Structure 1
Amino acid sequence: MSTEVSRAYGARAAEYAEHLGRMDAVAAADRELVLAWAQTLTGPVLDVGCGPGHWTGFLHEHGFDVTGIDPTPEFIAHARATHPGVPFRKGQAERLDVPDGSLGGVLAWYSLIHCTKPQVRAVLMEFARALRPGGGLLIGFFEGPVFEAFDHAVTTAYRWPVDSLSDLLRHSGFTVIETQSRTDPGVRPHGAIVATRNPA
């Protein structure tokens, strides 16, 4: 995430947290998917782009060894205050600051939506570096028929076709296990991809 995007989120962090930073604002299908995915993992989990920390807190409550990272200081402050005892730190998707092969899972739930194609490629390579062989990756994103920018409430974001993002994952060292897409009333089309890190 660029400095400009982080600043844009920082300016609206309280508003974002109030409306979207709670698990009761999350679709039941998404809670079920993330929990089922986490139950397949072995080893520590990193919630990349954790925002106000609700997904990190959710996984922690279910007994997982999870840390949330986000480049926006306002989100980290909110997450620490809202989820005491859960580890959060400032961090970037492009540089996770963990040893090679040290993670059991990476959750990237709508944390890559402001990245261009070259940026997403670089992030996926960093995820592949940090995950152990067989480690899990779950990505949530805005789905669309073509890769394109659109006017997001905070700053410019991008839609991805499920197939295109799946192909990029395969070229970045992952095996795609499952894909989902749906359109709920009143919201933009949603996509999710479950993948595993290929053997080294």
Structure 2
Amino acid sequence: MDAQGQEKFREFVANRSPALLRTAILLSGGDEHAAEDLLQNALIKVASRWNRVEEPEAYARQVLYRQQISRWRLRWRKRELTVADLPESAARERPDNDADLRLTVRRALSRLTPRQRTVLVLRYFEDLPETEVARLLGCSVGTVRSTTHRSLARLRSLAPELSALGLSDVPGPSGAVTPAEVGP
């Protein structure tokens, strides 16, 4: 990469890393360290193809998704579910502010399977159509639909306090949760 390309890449990283990191955090279930690793690996791949990539952010997001898919496909070795809080302390009456809402959504997303979490992040936080999600995940549109349906049902059961707020379609483009609100 020439000097001009390096400068443009540095600008890209400075400008787009926060948004890409938020997506990586959602994809990794709230594990910020895993998200940072995911983003760093994606940026390495973007840098190696910088001169050939027309849409660097789209390419970076695709690398993030595919790396996360590879991680959860290989996760068969590790069956343990790790959570930050014990289940007893995770139950709340009602989140009083946006920070509590973000934490509640993040906690609930982290308890979904990696596949469920990935489908919800792609569909609702990245606002991709079902056909694009199916293409990225290498499955059929019907699989995306059924996984989305089951994932939302599980998310609602994991975080019933969200429906008490009137956010019955959480997460979703019409709901009160956006990628910026769920981010770090």
Asked if these proteins are the same fold (TM beyond 0.5), I'd say no
Structure label with greater radius of gyration: 2
Q: What is the TM-score of this pair, normalised by structure 2?
A: 0.27
Q: What is the TM-score of this pair, normalised by structure 1?
A: 0.26
Q: Which has the higher contact order (CA 8 A, sep 6+)?
A: 2
User: Which protein has the bigger helix share?
Assistant: 2
